[in-house]
Amino acid sequence: MDEADLAQRYQEQFEQRVLQRHRDGLPKGESAVECQDCGDPIPEARQRAIPGCSRCICCQHHYERRSL
């Protein structure tokens, strides 16, 4: 195995760890039916796609922007 192969392997391992940490930080459990911020309904597709979500897409976007 040469240096390029080794570097590629380390890069892939690093990316997998970063992705796993991200997944571990995602909400889990049952999704809310209504947004905790605005009270609007959370679409069923979002509830299924993001288990444990508590905000509609718009409010989640604003929440994430404030967190930066």
pLDDT tens by residue, 22-52? 878 777 789 999 999 999 999 999 999 989 9
- pLDDT for 46: 95
**Total number of domains in the chain:** 1
Q: Is residue 53 part of a domain?
A: yes
Residue 9 lies in a domain: no
Is 12 contained in some domain?
A: no
Q: What percent of the chain has pLDDT over 70?
A: 99
Is residue 24 included in any domain, yes or no?
no
- Evaluate whether 60 touches 47 at the Cβ level (below 8 Å): no
CA angle 19, 24, 30 (to 5 degrees): 125
Mean of the per-residue pLDDT values for the chain? 91
- Domain-embedded: residue 37: yes
Q: Is residue 68 part of a domain?
A: yes
Q: Report yes or no on 62 lying in a domain.
A: yes
pTM beyond 0.85: no
Tell whether 60 is covered by a domain: yes
- Residue 53: domain span: 31-68
